[in-house]
Structure 1
Amino acid sequence: MRRLFGSVRARATLAATAVVAVALVAAGAVVLLSLRSNLAGQADTAADGAARNVASQIAQGVPYRELDLDEDHPVQAVDRDGRVLAVSEDLEAVSGTGSPGVTPVPGADAGRDGDEDHSEAGEVGQVTWHGQGRAAVDGESVAYRFAQVEVTDRSDRTVRVYAGASLQAQQDAVHTAATVMLVGLPLLLAVVAWVTWTVTRRALRPVEAIRGEMAAITASEDLARRVPVPDTHDEVARLARTTNETLAALETSVERQRRFVADASHELRSPVASLRTQLEVAAAHPELLDLEGAVEDTVRLQRLAADLLLLARLDAGERPQNTRFDLAGVVREQAAGRTDVTVEAEGVEVAGSRGQVERLLANLLDNAQRHARSRVAVAVRRDGGRHAVVEVADDGDGVPVGDRERIFERFVRLDEARARDDGGAGLGLAIARDVAARHGGTLTVRDATAGGALFELRLPIA
């Protein structure tokens, strides 16, 4: 049971059914109340007419025993003291009016017969009251709506005339409507639940297919697989496309990590093997120890380990510190002590990790000096009010157009032999671009004016 109602389909069906049930119950209550009110209004109108008819006869001087009383409407005429002056012929009991009596008092017409022709007609008033009661006619007790009309007869006596209209039709109509609703409501709710269950199942079928494929991908660890995309333009299709994009990015990231581990292992193997060989030779023949080579291999190994550690931190999403510093000052510090490097810089502040930016600039200068024939030129300037630009240009052979993006990949060396001789592992430019991206900037390469390569770093101004 818990598993059943834990599904989206079951919850949607239950919610839809509950909402429809509440709406139908509310609508049914409104309909019943409106029906009862309308029928009660019709009964009041009928009672008004019957009461006015009898009151008019009394006002015209018709004797109470000779009043023409409507057989369909029980009538009772009483004076202010509650004495019954006239009632319908078949009225056996009454409640809810001015008096429970159903027998006229003797002498109700006394004092009227002799001066009928000499008295003016009485006055008929307005309907002054509506109420509900019961009356027994021919042995059957039924609920009635009563109307009261006050009239002055020719004896200047105030008489209250009560006339009733049966509520049996109202009660029958309301009962019939309530019965229809009670029978129809469960059937309608069953239809709503079935339609919601069916529609939801069809709507969630692509979601279940996505879930099944994701479960299969998790079990097989095959990130090359993709979830099915339904041929629709709804949220489920967008979910499937987003899922496939996530899988593609994850596959690329995992493949990148695999290559990174493989390349790192390969790069570490050479200095470790060289260092081990030198140590083994030194252990057997101390006089043959190449101390300078062992130091170089150790330094190379240390630099490679530092590069790998920095890349790992960048891949982990390490956010740079929000420190403001002068970019031109950092450039001058990194260029100091380097031969054949000229600097033209204007002061501009940027924000981020000063250490990472120093590493970026050092890598660019190392790369430029490695490929320059005679000189390296560095320039720092503002580009509008938003970006600081650092240009590092050399007069070497430049970078072929087809390799201008590939050189920023990890462990890529266009000149394999020279890079290894210089201790490079193909990580300098990759680190530089990653640092630039982490600081909200860009790093690109194009042809320099002198014919070599020009690396352009753009960072947001603090």
Structure 2
Amino acid sequence: MPRTRIVGRWTRLGIRKQLTTVAVLLVALPLCIGILLLANLLTSSLSNAQVTQAREVAHRTAAYAGERGPAAMTSFQLDDGYRAQLVDSSGAVVWTSNSHYTSPLSEMRPQPGDAEQEGAVRWWGPGDRNEHRDLVVAQGITHAGDPYVAIVATSQEDQQSAVTVTTGLLLACVPLVMLAAGLTAWWVGGRALDPVDEMNARVSRITSSTLDERVPLPEAQDELRSLAITMNQMLQRLQAAHESQRRFISDASHELRSPMASLSGALEIAASDDRIETWRELSPLMQTEASRLSELVQDLLALSRSDDGGLELTITETDLDDLAAQEVARLRRTATVEVTSKITATRIEADPTQIGQVLRNLCDNAARHARSRVHVDVRPLEHAGAMIRVEDDGNGIATADRERVFERFVRLEESRSRDQGGSGLGLAIVHQIVTAHGGTIRVDGSEMGGARFVVTLPGPR
């Protein structure tokens, strides 16, 4: 089975089943390995004890035969469970403890004084057939100058059967232990995931009208609490975005209603009076309101595109001083206030169309709120980048409102209200464009008495 398919099936099990499976395996595998190790340790211990005892029996048999000779072996008292033989140098059995064993019990022929062994079972395995193998010890002796070998054999079946029975009983307990471990892990996993179920139930009940609800925080200081905190932060952001969207729609509707009402009223008047003079009198009003409506729609579309996927910037080498000079010239032609400037040759990498809109919106905003004068300052920064400053001698912006001024349709105090021709979106668009270029914008008080907007744009990237 491919590895990816196995991983896919595993991930589909769910956290609780995965936890239970892992717990069962972590209990079963070490337990089975431990039982097998115990069986082998027990086998080795019993084998060592049996080998020691068999060597003692072989030593006593050899000593008796060496002292009294083969003829006296008929009176030798052999331990229960053992078989013994005495073999001469030609390999013939000269004495046996059991008449059924007439052939030598082993091919081992140690030298006189030496001992050898074979057949000891040191390891245990399931279905091991070695338990029927005899343990054989042979020791060389001499009697009357003739060499002999005393051979002693004993069965290992009893010891190995004991190990097999013990191991089988222990292995039979493994499924019970696995069941207990699985049930415990399932219960513990369920208790641990209870907060997740509570969060899931709470979130499933939250709708667009109940975004003020929050998921409960678990008491334990763990990852689930961190998850709950993160979800609450997400809900808070969703609530803020939803409220902002509602305000945006409400404000946009309000802004659109005013020029639409003016156009509708003018058209009704013109329709009720077919004189050409009436159309001529209403034409400037209708053109003004149509321009205001078009500007508002364009601003809304620009912000909508920015919200959907960010502004699409065409970055090129841009002469910022040329853009600023064009806006200053335009403002001098259209505004009723004095426009002064201090423009230094400045080249940056930016989108010239977007930066031109930044300059235009800032200049128009300053002209609307100035009493008599607007000043534009453009210069390169010391290391890299550029700075734009646009200030006026109007009423200024209160410190508490200097962050809010970049929000959409924000309503400030009456001294800088947007009932002076603006759409309420110009500064929000400026903030979007500057941020997209990696720059910053701030507003503070001007020495001229009004507001001063300061834009910094980064150098080459």
TM-score by shorter chain over 0.5: yes
Displacement of 1:419: 6.1
CA distance in 1, matches of 2:47, 2:328: 101
Q: Deviations over 1:280-329 (max 9, x none)?
A: 33334242112222222221111111100111122224254362433634
Paired residues for 1:372-391 under 5 Å = 372=370, 373-382=372-381, 384=383, 388-391=386-389
Displacement of 1:242: 0.4
Q: Deviations over 1:129-153 (max 9, x none)?
A: 4456xxxxxxxxx946423435252
Displacement of 1:273: 2.0
Displacement of 1:124: 1.4
Structure 1 37/128 Cα, relative in aligned 2: closer, same or farther at 3 Å? closer
The question of 1:263 aligning with 2:251 is answered yes
Partner of 1:299: 291
Displacement of 1:69: 5.3
Judge conservation of contact 2:112–2:147 (CA < 8 Å) in 1.
Answer: no
Among 85, 92, 109, the alignment partner of 1:76 is 85
CA distance in 2, matches of 1:419, 1:7: 57
CA distance in 2, matches of 1:79, 1:381: 115
CA distance in 1, matches of 2:100, 2:386: 107
Displacement of 1:16: 1.2
CA distance in 1, matches of 2:30, 2:182: 14
Among 171, 179, 185, the alignment partner of 1:182 is 171
Q: Percent identity between the aligned chains?
A: 32
Judge conservation of contact 2:70–2:94 (CA < 8 Å) in 1.
Answer: yes
CA distance in 2, matches of 1:267, 1:48: 110
Partner of 2:138: 149
Judge conservation of contact 1:271–1:301 (CA < 8 Å) in 2.
Answer: yes
Displacement of 1:86: 2.4
Partner of 2:430: 432
Judge conservation of contact 2:16–2:189 (CA < 8 Å) in 1.
Answer: yes
Structure 1 460/94 Cα, relative in aligned 2: closer, same or farther at 3 Å? farther
Q: Which amino acid aligns with 1:84?
A: V
Among 233, 242, 245, the alignment partner of 1:245 is 233
Paired residues for 1:45-444 under 5 Å = 45-58=52-65, 60-67=66-73, 68=76, 70-72=78-80, 73-79=82-88, 82-88=91-97, 90=98, 92=100, 97-98=105-106, 123-127=112-116, 129-131=118-120, 143=132, 145-154=134-143, 159-218=148-207, 221-284=209-272, 285-287=274-276, 288-289=278-279, 290-321=282-313, 323-326=315-318, 328-329=320-321, 330-339=323-332, 340-351=339-350, 353-372=351-370, 373-382=372-381, 384=383, 388-414=386-412, 422-444=420-442
CA distance in 2, matches of 1:41, 1:194: 42
CA distance in 2, matches of 1:449, 1:418: 18
Q: Which amino acid aligns with 2:140?
A: V
Displacement of 1:334: 3.4
Instruction: List runs of 5+ in structure 2 lacking aligned partners.
Output: 1-8, 122-130, 333-338
Partner of 2:6: none
The question of 1:26 aligning with 2:18 is answered no
Judge conservation of contact 1:411–1:427 (CA < 8 Å) in 2.
Answer: yes
TM-score between the two structures when normalised by the length of structure 2: 0.81
Q: Which amino acid aligns with 1:292?
A: P
3-state secondary structure, aligned to 1:455 = strand
CA distance in 1, matches of 2:120, 2:410: 100
Structure 1 341/48 Cα, relative in aligned 2: closer, same or farther at 3 Å? farther
Q: Which amino acid aligns with 1:250?
A: L
Partner of 1:10: 17
Judge conservation of contact 1:77–1:162 (CA < 8 Å) in 2.
Answer: yes
Structure 1 422/148 Cα, relative in aligned 2: closer, same or farther at 3 Å? same
Instruction: List runs of 5+ in structure 1 lacking aligned partners.
Output: 100-121, 133-141
Structure 1 62/332 Cα, relative in aligned 2: closer, same or farther at 3 Å? farther
Q: Which amino acid aligns with 1:40?
A: S
CA distance in 1, matches of 2:87, 2:117: 15
Which shows bigger deviation, 324-333 or 209-218? 324-333
Structure 1 29/153 Cα, relative in aligned 2: closer, same or farther at 3 Å? same
Which shows bigger deviation, 171-180 or 187-196? 171-180
CA distance in 2, matches of 1:263, 1:98: 108
Structure 1 226/153 Cα, relative in aligned 2: closer, same or farther at 3 Å? same
Displacement of 1:164: 2.8
Q: Deviations over 1:38-61 (max 9, x none)?
A: 222222222233223333444x35
TM-score between the two structures when normalised by the length of structure 1: 0.81
| Aligned pairs, number | 423
3-state secondary structure, aligned to 2:454 = strand
The question of 1:44 aligning with 2:51 is answered yes
Judge conservation of contact 2:411–2:417 (CA < 8 Å) in 1.
Answer: yes
CA distance in 2, matches of 1:420, 1:96: 119
Judge conservation of contact 1:371–1:396 (CA < 8 Å) in 2.
Answer: yes
CA distance in 2, matches of 1:364, 1:392: 7
Displacement of 1:204: 0.7
CA distance in 2, matches of 1:454, 1:376: 9
Judge conservation of contact 1:56–1:124 (CA < 8 Å) in 2.
Answer: no
Structure 1 210/418 Cα, relative in aligned 2: closer, same or farther at 3 Å? closer
CA distance in 2, matches of 1:39, 1:96: 26
More helix by share: 2
Structure 1 12/414 Cα, relative in aligned 2: closer, same or farther at 3 Å? closer
CA distance in 2, matches of 1:12, 1:45: 49
Judge conservation of contact 1:350–1:388 (CA < 8 Å) in 2.
Answer: no
Q: Deviations over 1:218-244 (max 9, x none)?
A: 4x7411111101112100000001000
Which shows bigger deviation, 24-33 or 38-47? 38-47
CA distance in 2, matches of 1:410, 1:431: 9
Backbone CA RMSD of aligned residues: 3.1
Q: Which amino acid aligns with 2:284?
A: E
